[in-house]
Amino acid sequence: MAPQRRKFVDGLDDENKPSSKRVKNNVHSSDRYVLCDNTNQMFSFYNRRSSKPSNDFSDSASFSQKKCTALFNEYASPDESDLIGPEGVERFCRDIGVEPENIVTLVLAWKMDAKQMGYFTLKEWIKGLSDLQCDSIPKLRSKIDYLRSLLNDPTSFKSIYRYAFDFAKDKDQRSMDIETAKAMLQLLLGKQWSLFPYFHQFLDQSKYKVINKDQWCNVLEFSRTISSDLRNYDEDGAWPVLLDEFVEWYRKCVIGETLD
């Protein structure tokens, strides 16, 4: 992620239960006796107690909001109990074994629907971790590969990409400054878009100081639909001027085409 802003009973199935009469006299309500009608013999005996599952199962599968909140409190800012700030986020990332700038951190923030880079509110924390069913550091560590796998799903990736724009930009601005945009594009597209190094170079020498959300979203669409040789790029299409200029620059400075 770009530098932090300035820093989830036992019992028979109904279809398997024989048609039966249930003995109720002298039987505790938590016990069930099922009699087989055809043989008038006892078919099975169940003890369906309302006790909690064994500790092993509970520890590995259940989610406790109380434990989740207690985990939040370990990282919360001393002066704001309902907020984890940049230092807390850094410690949290270290504990789960990822860097704050790692794309997994961005995916986790997306799961939380966090509004500001480098900060997690208690509400955001509960939302994300309850979705993941995680209330401890070991459980979160076990979800790292899952979080990373979401990037391989086109629909999830598109949602994460679009989310990243609002997450990373200054909250009082409609656009993202160019340096943050380049860092976030590197994080999201650097390993999967063959033209990204050239697009990054183009941005370095361009006049652009900010990127708006329409430009941001169209960069993803461009990376998914336009071939690396740009032969299917339609100059009369509805691409933003930013991408028209990139194509022109690429053809002239990289391919060496002479423009008419």
Contacts of residue 120, Cβ cutoff 8 Å, sequence gap at least 6: 72, 83, 84, 88, 89, 109, 112, 114
User: Considering the chain, what percentage of its residues have pLDDT values greater than 70?
Assistant: 75
Domain boundary (117, 151, 185) is at 151
pLDDT in tens, 43-84: 333 333 333 333 333 344 689 999 999 999 999 999 899 999
Nearest to 8 by CA among 221, 150, 168: 150
Alpha carbons 151 and 155: distance in angstroms, whole number: 9
Say yes or no: 127 and 191 in one domain: no
Residue 203 lies in a domain: yes
4 has pLDDT over 90: no
Say yes or no: 142 and 222 in one domain: no
99 has pLDDT over 80: yes
Say yes or no: 32 and 82 in one domain: no
**pLDDT value, residue 42:** 35
Say yes or no: 196 and 122 in one domain: no
Say yes or no: 127 and 68 in one domain: yes
| DSSP code at position 225 | H
Alpha carbons 229 and 220: distance in angstroms, whole number: 17
**pLDDT value, residue 236:** 86
Rounded (10°) CA dihedral 140, 146, 150, 152: 140
**pLDDT value, residue 237:** 87
Asked if residues 117 and 77 have their Cβ atoms less than 8 Å apart, the reply is no
Which residues on adjacent β-strands are paired with residue 110? none
| Higher pLDDT pick, 98 / 48 | 98
| Higher pLDDT pick, 42 / 74 | 74
Say yes or no: 199 and 141 in one domain: no
**pLDDT value, residue 177:** 97
Say yes or no: 231 and 193 in one domain: yes
Host domain of residue 74: 61-151
Q: Which amino acid is at 66?
A: K
Contacts of residue 64, Cβ cutoff 8 Å, sequence gap at least 6: 135
| DSSP code at position 30 | T
Residue 122 lies in a domain: yes
Q: How many domains does the chain have?
A: 3
Q: For the chain, what is the radius of gyration of the CA atoms?
A: 28
Residue 7 lies in a domain: no
Which residues on adjacent β-strands are paired with residue 34? 22, 44
**Cβ neighbours, 10 Å, residue 78:** 8
Say yes or no: 90 and 118 in one domain: yes
Helix axes 86-96, 65-75, angle to 10 degrees: 120
- Confidence (pTM): 0.75
Say yes or no: 244 and 178 in one domain: yes
CA 38 to chain centre: 55
Say yes or no: 66 and 38 in one domain: no
pLDDT in tens, 197-230: 999 999 999 999 999 999 999 999 999 999 999 9
Contacts of residue 248, Cβ cutoff 8 Å, sequence gap at least 6: 259
Residue 184 lies in a domain: yes
Domain boundary (25, 47, 69) is at 47
Half-sphere exposure at residue 121, Cβ-oriented, CA atoms within 13 angstroms: 7
The percent helix, strand, coil of the chain (3-state, each to 5) is: 50, 10, 40
Residue 6 lies in a domain: no
**Cβ neighbours, 10 Å, residue 90:** 17
Say yes or no: 87 and 143 in one domain: yes
CATH number of the domain that residue 69 is part of: 1.10.238.10
Residue 81 lies in a domain: yes
Say yes or no: 37 and 76 in one domain: no
Residue 167 lies in a domain: no
Nearest to 229 by CA among 247, 244, 241, 217: 247
Residue 247 lies in a domain: yes
